[in-house]
Amino acid sequence: MIHSLFVINHSGDVFMEKHWRSIIPRTVMDYFFEAQRQVVKDNKGHEDVPCVIATPHHYLISIYRNSLYFVAVCMSEVPPLFVIEFLHTVVDILEKYFSECNESNIKEHYVVVYELLDEVLDNGYPLATEPNILQELIRPPNIIGNLINTVTGKSNVSSVLPSGQLSNVPWRKADVKYTNNEAYFDIIEEVDAIIDKTGKQNCSTVFAEIAGKIECCVRLSGTPDLTLSFINPRLMDDVSFHPCVRLKRWENERILSFVPPDGSFCLMTYHVGCQSAVAIPIYIRHNFFLPKENSQSQTGKIEITVGPRQTMGRVVENLQLSIPMPKFILNCTVTVNQGRATFDPVTKILLWDVGKIDPTKLPNMRGQIHIQSGALILQSTPSVNVQFTLTQIAISGLKVHRLDMFGENYKPFKGVKYLTKAGNFQIRM
Amino acid sequence: MATGNLGLTYGGQEKTPSLSGETEFAAEAGAPGGLFHADYKRHDDLKQMLDSSKDSLKLEAMKRIIGMVAKGRDASDLFPAVVKNVVSKNIEVKKLVYVYLVRYAEEQQDLALLSISTFQRALKDPNQLIRASALRVLSSIRVPVIVPIMMLAIRDSVSDMSPYVRKTAAHAIPKLYDLDPEQKDELVMVIERLLSDQTTLVVGSAVMAFEQVCPERTDLIHKNFRKLCAVLVDIEEWGQVIIIGMLTRYARTQFTDPNINGTIHSEKDKPFYEESEEDEAKEKPTESLVLDPDHRLLLRNTKPLLQSRNSSVVMAVAQLYHHLAPREDVAVVTRALIRLLRSHREVQTVVLNSVASMSVNRKDMFEPFLKNFFVRSTDATQIKLLKLEILTNLANESNITFILREFQTYISSQDRDLVAATIQAIGRCAAGIKEVTDTCLSGLIALLSNSDELVVAESVVVIKKLLQTHQGSHGDIVGQMARLVNRITVPQARAAILWLVGEHCEKKRVSKMAPDVLRFMARTFANEQDVVKLQILNLAAKLCLSNPKQTKVLCQYVFSLAKYDQNYDIRDRTRFLRHLVFPSTEHALLAKYAKKIFLASKPAPVIESVFKDRDEFQLGSLSHYLNSRVVGYMDLPGFPAVAPDSNVRNVESPRPAIPVTSVRGNSAVASSKGKKKETFYSESSSENEEVKDESGSSDSKSDSSSEIDSDSAESDSEESSEEDPDDSVNISQQNIVRLSPSLSPSPPSQRLSRTLVIQSSSESEYSSNSSDSDSIDSDKAVKTVKTSRIPPTIPKSNLDLLLDLDVSDSITTPVMASVPGIPLGTLASTPITDCSIQPASAAYISTRPMELVSSISSGCGLQILYRYTRSINLYSASMVTIELTLVNTGNEDLTEVKITNKIMPVGISMHEFTTLASLPVGATRLVTIGIDFGDSTQNVSCDLVASGKPIKINFRPSVGELIRPVTCTEGVFINEQGKLKGMNEHNFSITNTSELEDVKSISTKIFRTTNMASINSSDPNTLRFAGQTLTSKSLVLVTILVGTNPKLTVCCEKMIIGSMLLAELKEALKN
């Protein structure tokens, strides 16, 4: 399965390697660097490095996260998703440990990382990837912990097998105790949409979908058994669950019944498909034009107005528009009546930070686009990537009915929060 | 990075160990190469620290060493110093030494051997974590000398108490196998043992070892197949992936092709609508093709995993369905795959790759989700191209306009690769769908005037292909393209134009231009790319043949230019062409046909998906992704024409099996294992001939009735097995009925306590059963087995009832279903007034349900059948258990099936079944209700609501069902009968004596009518039956005298019951 792991930073240094079987020399990474160079040559981003590279004797499967490449080396047939998913799990674990998985954190905690890597894989096969178990085996580093260890001579490494490893609920630690028992549920929905222009000013929705997830933060003592029910569970088209959710119960009754892991986790994700009507909270009126190919003019025009639409009575907040301009554009000079607009001449991105939409005075941007002199003008139209949030509402209309707890005697504090964000929200100009 | 100088100064300071290893690394980074001295010093320092007696110093040293290892620096010269510390008491030092050892043992084998004895000792440690890690390290140091020691350690560890150690042992097996493949035979035995392990923790790793060592030994899987299917949901995610992969291959060798009827049509890539038509026609036969129950089990048990959060699990299930499921079932994976498209970029790439491959043959599956494959400007190029590929695969007449409009936006995209690929895609759509060929062609021609050269070039290439496939005169188009030669610099496009000009050189408009084109090309010949040069040669040859007057000289000129070209292909081609076009007289034979050779009509290229030929690889595998055979790839075997014997998967001993909540399902499942069933029923047949016949006939009925029956039953059983991860048992004989615990929220540790187990087997079998439940790991259940065993004083009861029921916090109706035709167990805890009178089992249970509401009268296609199970209702002992069979014969799914609006006379209560969320079309569900009739035969009516529509139902019990059988000795019977004289006694003299000759048939008739038990009688002419009313527990005693003066006597404290029963019995005996 997975023979070795190499971690590569932005500048192309292998700063960490781990081998679970025989040592594979670092030179195998040359193939990876070559692929990377090729991508840079083609003027593409880091995302375009192929995630599977076949070399004569090895197969390099990589992921790119937090501007680090994690490259797994395999030597025989293995489902590529297995490796990719595993690498992401490793990064998730490291994020849980160090709050952020970046180069300096890994370098600072070489030993902990190494111990973790040793625990998650055995001979290339996943052994323990459940964060709760790992955190019992190897304690996450923190200042107080270090202090205690220095004073008492205890170590970060557990000498007994974590109870979760053998239990039916491996995701939950035994003997959890809190003075304040609380359970918070954040229902976060992201609107994915592609909106196209048809005709002059009208925007038509080509595709719209809602992807939701329920992020929980559960701090409850003992082994509580929770059930969460929705007022309108049938909205959800396709769901995926944390392993703690009892699938049968969902299938039969549309109720989430689970023994939660301790701490923060993602309980479920769901989709509200494109079959049902998705409310699009904003609209954009735009006017974008580049000078004709053979004209002498070196300037084009851009004008954008944003307005609210189907917001369910909430205010659109944190509105941000980013427009990747074609490469031949030298600069944009725009004036806005709200927020701040900047143009990055290197990445060629025009970023407009709007903020809240005030329906009485619609945000508006207008200005000129300057073309590089002598550059070939291609009539390509950029698309606008939109970010926004709507608080206290799930745009699909999903609502939690009730949350019950069984198995423990105390009364927990329960909280549910709704939030709608723009996911992959694109408007073609 | 520090410079070399810095490194030196650090070297001097290193006498004092720094607390954080970080400064060390900074220094070290500058050190490699020239600073040998500093390096040496540092290691010296580390050695000193390792040799010290302080744990903290050792730990510090080890941390620094591990830091070096992590950075990939050589720390091998410290090996002796480190290995000494393997005996350290400090767990963290020890762990780090282990890490170091695994890294360098291979290089320093002799020294590594020093540590072996420590591990051997640690393998006996009482702490399971220490045992496990010792085994891990021992198996990870790749030193061939210790193979025997490893083998020994593995063999010991597979029988370790701790599942964690057993799991580690499973991981160690492939390591040993890599080291010494000769150990295979012995390792296979170990694997076999691990495969039958009962804990889910071990099973995943065991299968992994199986896959590594002996994937060809499918015979090892047979016995574990059903268990693996049953516990799959409870195994950790990584294990699931491996098991599903293995089961896919296994299923391919064991089951027949589910699409055997449809394959011929489905394999061909026909336009979508034709296919669907054919599918409709084919649907019927495919459906009637009965899948092996195990095949179905596998598909059903993997389906819930589509909801896993782990993308590789979802992909594994998707490929299983792709390779194994009947065509119409594969669509269930679509949504899950679409969901993965919101995941990380890498996941998207791999999933889209698989989808692209699937969409070649399974258009209908993805067509509804077309929009999900629309390209976004933020996607990575690779993903964009894959999406484009999928869109093209999915294109058909109905959605092509939609897709083309989408393509149009892509052409103006900033991503050049996407633009090029889009034009290719338009070409493919045009070639594939006749209706739009002309539109596409004109669109592509319009692109020829695009300002972007890339677009033009790509269009040229595509138009060339299209013109080839598209018959007709294209003089205009070719002429227009010929003019582009000056402008376009992309070699492929130039070559394509030249080829087109050559091919159409006899057409009206082209013929005039062609010589000019050649003249122009001849001028630039030397600077052209090879592809273009070859096409210039081709053009020259063709023109020379068709229009020698204008071009002969030009052609000769080109040929002589090419003769001295650097590329040997071009030189060869020139030589070849020259002899055909300008033959020297003696070789004129071929030259005569030159024109035919060059200007023959050429077959059109087939424009098709590049994913077309990927079928040979298993979906989702690395080989499939790379489209080349990867080391270690195992081909997916084809389906066998005839399935091998499915009995190999039966497990021999009648173990406590997957719990079933229904009776019908039980018989249906049992019926699939023919031989077993025989023995199963023969047990009861000795008791009651009639019963056996009954059950036999009902069996065959449930056989012939559709698969759906067993479906519902099996899905029920899944439910309970999922809830209980430890319960890794197989579906075989279902002597066990269990409450589904899923409805009552309880911590998993307590789940087992809710299980209700009824064993219908003889006393001798009991022991084997209890030992089995021992192995299930459920201490609690075992305990209850022991406590609630029925005292052996009851002679009649050959059944044991294991019951541990906690009704109070259970929401559900705890009703145990019964096995038809089989005497049922009694409830040990039933309140009994007189200890000499014991509850007994029903002697006869009707297996034929009677109709309560017909599908017509219900108005919504719901048919309701009812049957008295004659089993003890678990909710209340005074309730009559009625099993309702709900069949949806309509053509709409029913939802929210429940009982409401109960109209009860005083003293009568009812316990309804839990609401059924849905009842799909054609589905059958068994539900059980309990009614306490209060010892009366009053009507109980209620509404059964389905999809919000009430259906009136009435229950009016026959008096015989209000009685529960009891046994007692003959003496007690006569004594009790003596108390019930006068008003309580009802007599009837039987006149028609001829019917009473057969004692046996009388008993049967009595048993059918009323639920009573027969009492041993000393007088052969006297038959005695005893029972007890359900609510008031008053005795009901029936005596039948046969012989000269036949007489029927019913004694009961409740006169009404007595008289009614007499009437019913009279009626029964007459028939």
Can you give B607-660 as a three-state secondary structure string?
CCCCCHHHHHCCCCCHHHHHCCCCCCCCCCCCCCCCCCCHHHHCCCCCCCCCCE
Which of B232, B255, B249 minimizes the C-alpha distance to B303?
B232
Predicted structure pTM score: 0.68
| Contact flag A251-B344 (C-beta cutoff 8 Å) | no
Identify the bridge partners of residue A370 per DSSP, sorted by sequence position: A299, A331
DSSP secondary structure, B383-394, as one string = HHHHHHHHHHHH
| DSSP helix/strand/coil, B132 | helix
As a whole number of angstroms, the distance between CA A373 and CA A123 comes to: 59
The mean pLDDT of A382-399, rounded to a whole number, is 88
Kindly list the residues from chain B whose CB atom is less than 8 angstroms away from the CB atom of residue A157: 91-92, 95
Under 8 Å between Cβ of A5 and A17 = yes
Long-range CB contacts (within 8 A, 24+) of B640-644: B640/B253, B640/B254, B640/B255, B640/B256, B641/B256, B642/B256, B643/B254, B643/B255, B643/B256, B643/B292, B644/B253, B644/B254
CA distances to A69, A281, A306, A315, B267 from A309, in Å: 41, 5, 10, 10, 47
Q: Which positions ≥6 away from B898 have C-beta within 8 Å? A: B912, B913, B914, B915, B916, B944, B945
Residues of chain B with pLDDT under 50: 1-38, 263-288, 653-834
Under 8 Å between Cβ of B173 and B209 = yes
Q: B1058: alpha, beta or left, given left = phi > 0 and alpha = psi -120 to 50?
A: alpha
- B331's tokens: 């669509």
Question: For residue B406, what pLDDT is reported?
Answer: 87
Angle between helix axes B163-179 and B147-157 (nearest 10 degrees) is 150
b/e per residue B791-812 (b: at least 16 CB within 10 A): eeebebbbbbbbbbbeeeebeb
Please give the residue of chain A at the shortest CA–CA distance from B201: A166
Kindly list the residues from chain A whose CB atom is less than 8 angstroms away from the CB atom of residue B91: 155, 157-159
As a whole number of angstroms, the distance between CA B225 and CA B644 comes to: 14
Q: B737: alpha, beta or left, given left = phi > 0 and alpha = psi -120 to 50?
A: beta
Express each pLDDT in B917-941 by its tens digit.
777 777 787 788 888 887 777 777 8
Under 8 Å between Cβ of B123 and B156 = yes
Vertex A277, ends A274 and A279: CA angle to 5°? 110
Kindly list the residues from chain B whose CB atom is less than 8 angstroms away from the CB atom of residue A88: 344, 346-347
CA distances to A108, B29, B52, B59, B65 from B49, in Å: 21, 22, 5, 9, 11
Distance spanning both ends of chain B, measured CA to CA: 104
As a whole number of angstroms, the distance between CA B468 and CA B500 comes to: 9
As a whole number of angstroms, the distance between CA B16 and CA B812 comes to: 70
How high is the mean pLDDT of chain A? Answer: 85
As a whole number of angstroms, the distance between CA B46 and CA B49 comes to: 5
Tell me what ipTM this predicted complex has: 0.91
Kindly list the residues from chain B whose CB atom is less than 8 angstroms away from the CB atom of residue A196: 409
As a whole number of angstroms, the distance between CA B287 and CA B636 comes to: 25
- A369's tokens: 């686009």
Sheet strand arrangement including B894-903: B916-919, B894-903, B940-946, B949-955
Nearest-Cα distance to chain A for B607, in Å, is 26
Output the CA torsion sign for B670, B671, B675, B678: positive
Kindly list the residues from chain B whose CB atom is less than 8 angstroms away from the CB atom of residue A259: 747-748
Express each pLDDT in B684-721 by its tens digit.
333 444 434 444 444 444 343 334 344 444 444 444 44
Helix (H) or strand (E) holding B960: none
Question: For residue B472, what pLDDT is reported?
Answer: 67
| Contact flag B72-A80 (C-beta cutoff 8 Å) | no
Kindly list the residues from chain B whose CB atom is less than 8 angstroms away from the CB atom of residue A16: 70-72
Nearest-Cα distance to chain B for A391, in Å, is 22
| Contact flag A385-B378 (C-beta cutoff 8 Å) | yes
Please give the residue of chain A at the shortest CA–CA distance from B742: A249
pLDDT at A60 over 90: yes
| DSSP helix/strand/coil, A320 | strand
Express each pLDDT in A285-300 by its tens digit.
888 888 776 667 778 8
As a whole number of angstroms, the distance between CA B86 and CA B69 comes to: 17
Under 8 Å between Cβ of B473 and B501 = no
Helix (H) or strand (E) holding A96: helix A80-98
Under 8 Å between Cβ of B466 and B444 = yes
Sheet strand arrangement including A329-336: A282-289, A299-308, A364-371, A329-336
| Contact flag A107-B25 (C-beta cutoff 8 Å) | yes
Question: For residue A274, what pLDDT is reported?
Answer: 57
Nearest-Cα distance to chain B for A378, in Å, is 7
Kindly list the residues from chain A whose CB atom is less than 8 angstroms away from the CB atom of residue B309: 240-243, 266, 269
Nearest-Cα distance to chain A for B830, in Å, is 29
Helix (H) or strand (E) holding B105: none
Say if strands A413-428 and A182-197 run parallel, antiparallel, or are unpaired: parallel
Which of B846, B488, B529 minimizes the C-alpha distance to B695?
B846
Please give the residue of chain A at the shortest CA–CA distance from B22: A108
Q: Which of A54, A155, A225 sits opposite B745 (nearest CB)?
A: A225
Which of A112, A142, A82 minimizes the C-alpha distance to A18?
A112
Question: For residue A145, what pLDDT is reported?
Answer: 61
- B81's tokens: 């110093």
